[in-house]
Structure 1
Amino acid sequence: MRFLVFFFGLIFINFSSSAQTDADPALWSHEVKKISETEYELTFTGKIMEGWHVYSQYTAEGGSLPSEFTFEKEGEDYELVGKTLESETIKEYSEIFEVEETFFKKEAIFTQRIKLLKPEVRQISVNLFYQICKEVCIPKDAFFEISLDGNAFVQSQKQLDEKSIAMGESLRIDLKNKNLLNQNGLAESGSKSNLWMILGLGFLGGLIALLTPCVFPMIPLTVSFFTKQSEQKSKGIGNAILYGFFIVLIYFLLSLPFHLFDSVDSQILNTIATNIWLNVFFFIIFVVFAFSFFGYYELTLPSSWANKMDAASSKVGGVLGIFFMALTLAIVSFSCTGPILGGLLGSTTLAEGDVAVNLTAGMVGFGLALALPFGLFALFPAWLNSLPKSGGWMTTVKVVLGFLELALAFKFLSNADLVGNWGIFKREIFLGIWIVLFILMTLYLFGAFNFTKEDNRKNLSVTRKLFGVISLAFSTYLVLGLLNVTNLKLLSGFPPPDFYSVTETETDCPLGLECFKDFKEGVAHAQEVNKPILLDFTGWACVNCRKMEENVWSDSKIYPLLKEEYVLISLYVDDRKKLPEDEIFDFKFDSGRIKTIETIGQKWGTFQTVNFNAASQPYYVLLSPNLEILNDAVQYVDVDTYERWLRSGLEKYQLTMNK
């Protein structure tokens, strides 16, 4: 519940000064002061960027997380003398958590005395966990390796050992013609079309939300309120349109915190979207959403929120009052819009690319659909008479949405299975679950069973029967795909890939192609066979990657080029397999930020970022065996564009060979 409070508390956001990629909003240093032969005073100083703040060790419980020091080997090599002292702090009441919080701005200074238990100890290690906040809060760690000899100033970062330095250098490659990347703008064509698709999905979700019992009855009531309460008709229409604008604005503002996440770390959203346990969490949440739509319980935000917003709208009046009315609608309709918004969030994380931008597009589309009827019916009030009456049909809408939420829930569980390499939800099992779900939905639509007393199985409407036929047709389509009668191209990216099957396959590469999953091995093979390289940054949970493989790579114009003319190197940036112990290392970015590379996905994700300045998938680059970039990079594009791109790379490679 605290997350929901915090999330809604983010709607008033100043977004003018977000942190740069890989920049740390707090820079830490330490000093050592010798008190006696056995006692030392340690001082830890954090310089905090403008607009950010760090919480005290002693901030109130129930609020944001306090700072916490961990002194390694404390009690063994040395003991702490007294508490850790702090510089001047600021106290402020938090409306979100309803407690008085204590924090630092601009500078945080901590002082701790220690007494040696072993006189020979000359170095100690300290870890500081802290939460730094602006519009959102980010948990961070600062590592201190402290020398007790002298008062030398030492940077508060992990020091790279020789192994990490060497492995970090090997991760950077000497690319030639790097200026060719994205020169022709082909890489953007797919992302733009994807953005419009997400906007359309959001708009569709908003239209569906309009049909739910939480929103639909509000339309005539709200429009009538504006048109009848205003002395002038034009003013009433203007207020209704302003109300609709504020609805769009509220849903737009809800997406902005995700841009801040992206600005702090270019790979954080990809990491979130492909995190195994977060996908399991999403699975559980969507199951909860589904059963709320089935009518077993109702999910609502605290009624006090709606009461406060309603009171505020009456108290302040005018434009601000209309804003609070729109916010009240967003809160009271949460039981119906929340699960749909959850599905929208899921769709944006599944649709690879800039997740934050996708989410904003989806939220704006959702808000537009919700706002549209309030403006239209204010302009044309006679249309209100044509609205259908509220009734059992809205219950049917909610139950159908429940089945769709369950289907999406299993997509998240499939993601966790793919990324974690569990081998449980193979393609056939996933399709089997979906077939059962949509057959059950078909039976429900035809009145074979119901969930609530409001369902009327005796008088099925023509519309309900029509959707029953559509559901039956889709179930049949899934069965044919399971039996390999059809290729399920319409669902590309949702089921696991073809090679992730209960039956043994010749290769674990798409479409049976030969591919390499290690960059150096692939380059060595390309040099041996004298062929150009198709470098494919992909992911196990990447929907658009599967769409490209199943719809574009499989095309008769593309497949022969991939099979015969190129060496395919597929690097999975979300692979959570641990690297061998001797290959784990710390990587230092140009900004100074240090990241521990522990998994295969972290290695290739960092490789993509530092060499190609990109963090989204799919991302395709054509290289010669000596690492010369042959043309611009592309992402999600159509067959013809991809063919021109591949052939252009071959022509460029032939020219370099003839020199």
Structure 2
Amino acid sequence: MIRNIFLFILMICFLNAEPVNVSEAFKINEKAHPSGISFDIAIDKSVYLYEDELKVFLGSENITKILNLPESKKHKEYLIYDKNFTLFIPTNLILNTSNEKIITLKFLGCAYDGYCYNPQNLKFNLSKTENGFKISKIKDKKVSNNNTNYENKISSDIKNNNFFITVITFFGYGLLLALTPCVFPMIPILSSIIVSKCKNSKNSNKKAFLISFIYVFAMSLAYSIAGILATYFGSSVQGFLQIPWVIILFSLIFIVLAFSMFGFYELQLPASLQSKISKKSESKNGLIGVFIMGFLSALIVGPCVAAPLAGALVYIAQSGNLVLGGSALFIMSFGMGMPLLLIGLGANRFLPKPGYWMNEISKIFGFIMLFMAVWMLSRLISSNLSLLLYGVLGIFFGVSLFPVKKDSAVFKKFKFGFSLVVIIYSVILIFGFASGSNSLTNPLNNTFKNQLKENLNFKKVSNLNELKEVVRGSKKPVLIDFWATWCVNCKELDDALNSAEISEILSNFELIKVDVTKNSKDDLELMKEFQIYGPPALIFFKNGKELQKYKVIGDIKKIALAKNLNEILNL
């Protein structure tokens, strides 16, 4: 079974064809002559340059229009250069200014197959000598720490620190991620597994911890393998597992588990097979299923891309060191699973003893499984319809909590009060659905309805070429939002973007939305271009240049986002 899972993951990964490297696509050879400076530009046969994006600056002065440029040709609606040519700057033009000069050559090119390169900005130092001029290319300065985004800093930490420090650091990152939505969905799953596996066990606490450890180990292994494969093959494994039929299948699994908890049937292996397994190793019975559940839960239930994860993936992509990068991913995931291990350690405190309580707790976990099924389906259906499903399910849950004769007097009051609250809130959710609301926390406020379409005017692009065109033609700063329907954090980011204070600032930006829900070839190419391994992510451009410092991977607070947006406007 496990082998088949790995084969499935490998099968769905594919390797995108690499475009010609920019240094090979456009070869620039600068030369100094007594009569002036020349730039021999060799253009690969698979690419071309945009005529209106070719600019030459002498100091701060744009001298492009006074140079002798080659004849361009029309490609679609644009004029381009696709043949080798030479730019020549005569001596008399250079002598009109001071002896020390900076020549800047700017251009933008694309491949005929649709791939577009980042805008190029090459600088050359020009100085006067006794026999004419001397020209030398100015090497790109390394970006300082102040100008790098968080995931690149983390990638640098892996590269510069020794193995032990890296492991400790990423374990700490994992502990921080334990406080994010990455882990929360797995808590009820693990809890229900512990309840079902330990209800008749004499050493329930030891077995509960063993179950938790195997679950967390499998979860860590899944994150590590998926991360390495995603980087190595240039695709998002987790994204592939968010396709609709997989989500529906997993939702059905939760429903099947829920009805098992309700006592309608009991899920178990055939008696003959159970007997064989028990004879070989009683302690291992059922643990393979826990491992598989932990592995799949990490990939399907808890999709999470945050800066530490992205940092490790960036490092693997840039260095090719799968061992160190994979180890960092595994240790980080293990740190992320610490709350789950704590559940196993304290299992004896919440596990019900045989009898009436066992049935009550099993029933509660059954409803938790049903809520998990709705939560999974919410990635495919509208937020408004999700309110209806939560509301209807909540009413049934509330009714099931009504006190019975076996309850003590005190607990009868508690159960009645709690069930009443659940039913009232569920009714409010249904009213919220009827009024068109999309908010689970504020269902009676329908101002969230169609918020994205009404408040913010996002342009949708479907491939890298379209994105390059929009960025190239924009006179405003550009915000690119990578988004997917199955991405839980994306919905939280949408709320932040649509808040009054943020949406007002965004009126000064060109807004682009990239929907990577389907993980198509174009989606993967877009994510690969910006080294993004899953949504949510925000990319910023200004004057045609990407602002790496302000790149956002994962969640971001409104205050920090507002600060970044204002800084970009003032650049």
- TM-aligned CA deviation for residue 638 of structure 1: 0.9
Aligned partner letter, 1:651: N
Distance 1:431 1:245, change over 3 A: closer
- TM-aligned CA deviation for residue 397 of structure 1: 2.3
- TM-aligned CA deviation for residue 402 of structure 1: 2.4
Equivalent residue, structure 2, for 1:537: 482
- Mapped partners of 1:141, 1:190: distance in 2: 30
CA contact (8 A) 2:459 2:511 kept: yes
- Please tell me whether residue 436 in structure 1 is matched to residue 400 in structure 2: no
Distance 1:369 1:387, change over 3 A: closer
Q: What pairs with 1:551-566 in structure 2 (closer than 5 Å)?
A: 552-562=496-506, 564-566=507-509
- Mapped partners of 1:619, 1:258: distance in 2: 19
- Mapped partners of 1:497, 1:572: distance in 2: 23
Provide, for residues 7-43 of structure 1, a one-character-per-residue CA deviation record: whole Å limited to 9, x for no partner.
7xx9xxxxxxxxxxxxxxxxxxxxxxxxxxxxxxxxx
Identity of matched residues, %: 19
- Please tell me whether residue 608 in structure 1 is matched to residue 564 in structure 2: no
CA contact (8 A) 1:199 1:361 kept: no
Aligned partner letter, 2:456: L
Aligned partner letter, 1:408: M
Equivalent residue, structure 2, for 1:185: 150
Aligned partner letter, 1:183: T
- Mapped partners of 1:521, 1:405: distance in 2: 42
Equivalent residue, structure 1, for 2:268: 300
Aligned partner letter, 1:513: L
Equivalent residue, structure 1, for 2:226: 261
Distance 1:607 1:329, change over 3 A: closer
Equivalent residue, structure 1, for 2:567: 648
- Please tell me whether residue 574 in structure 1 is matched to residue 517 in structure 2: yes
Task: Give the alignment partner of residue 282 of structure 1, picking from 229, 232, 250.
Answer: 250
TM-score, L = length of structure 1: 0.51
Equivalent residue, structure 2, for 1:622: 540
Equivalent residue, structure 2, for 1:101: none
- TM-aligned CA deviation for residue 542 of structure 1: 1.2
- TM-aligned CA deviation for residue 523 of structure 1: 6.0
- TM-aligned CA deviation for residue 309 of structure 1: 6.7
Equivalent residue, structure 1, for 2:259: 291
Name structure 2 gaps, 5 residues minimum: 16-44, 48-109, 122-139, 155-171, 311-328
Provide, for residues 76-130 of structure 1, a one-character-per-residue CA deviation record: whole Å limited to 9, x for no partner.
xxxxxxxxxxxxxxxxxxxxxxxxxxxxxxxxxxxxxxxxxxxxxxxxxxxxxxx
- Mapped partners of 1:391, 1:409: distance in 2: 28
Distance 1:396 1:430, change over 3 A: same
CA contact (8 A) 2:222 2:296 kept: no
CA contact (8 A) 1:204 1:366 kept: no
Distance 1:371 1:168, change over 3 A: farther
- Mapped partners of 2:11, 2:481: distance in 1: 32
More helix per residue:
2
Equivalent residue, structure 1, for 2:203: 222
CA contact (8 A) 1:202 1:364 kept: no
CA contact (8 A) 1:545 1:618 kept: yes
Equivalent residue, structure 1, for 2:425: 474
CA contact (8 A) 2:12 2:240 kept: no
- TM-aligned CA deviation for residue 304 of structure 1: 6.9
Q: Number of aligned pairs?
A: 410
Q: What pairs with 1:17-166 in structure 2 (closer than 5 Å)?
A: 138=11, 166=111
Distance 1:348 1:641, change over 3 A: same
Equivalent residue, structure 1, for 2:456: 513
- Mapped partners of 2:242, 2:208: distance in 1: 35
Task: Give the alignment partner of residue 238 of structure 2, picking from 246, 250, 270.
Answer: 270
CA contact (8 A) 1:536 1:618 kept: yes
SS of the equivalent of 2:514 reads strand
CA contact (8 A) 1:497 1:510 kept: no
Distance 1:194 1:560, change over 3 A: farther
CA contact (8 A) 1:203 1:368 kept: no
- TM-aligned CA deviation for residue 206 of structure 1: 4.4
- Please tell me whether residue 402 in structure 1 is matched to residue 366 in structure 2: yes
Aligned partner letter, 1:286: F
Aligned partner letter, 2:203: T
- Mapped partners of 1:190, 1:517: distance in 2: 34
What is the root-mean-square deviation of aligned Cα atoms in Å?
4.7
- TM-aligned CA deviation for residue 602 of structure 1: 2.9
- Mapped partners of 1:191, 1:547: distance in 2: 21
- TM-aligned CA deviation for residue 443 of structure 1: 1.4
Aligned partner letter, 2:241: A
- TM-aligned CA deviation for residue 394 of structure 1: 2.5
Equivalent residue, structure 1, for 2:56: none
Equivalent residue, structure 2, for 1:412: 376
Name structure 1 gaps, 5 residues minimum: 11-130, 143-160, 224-239, 314-323, 375-383, 417-424, 449-454, 500-504, 577-600, 653-659
CA contact (8 A) 1:343 1:408 kept: no
Q: What pairs with 1:583-602 in structure 2 (closer than 5 Å)?
A: 601-602=520-521
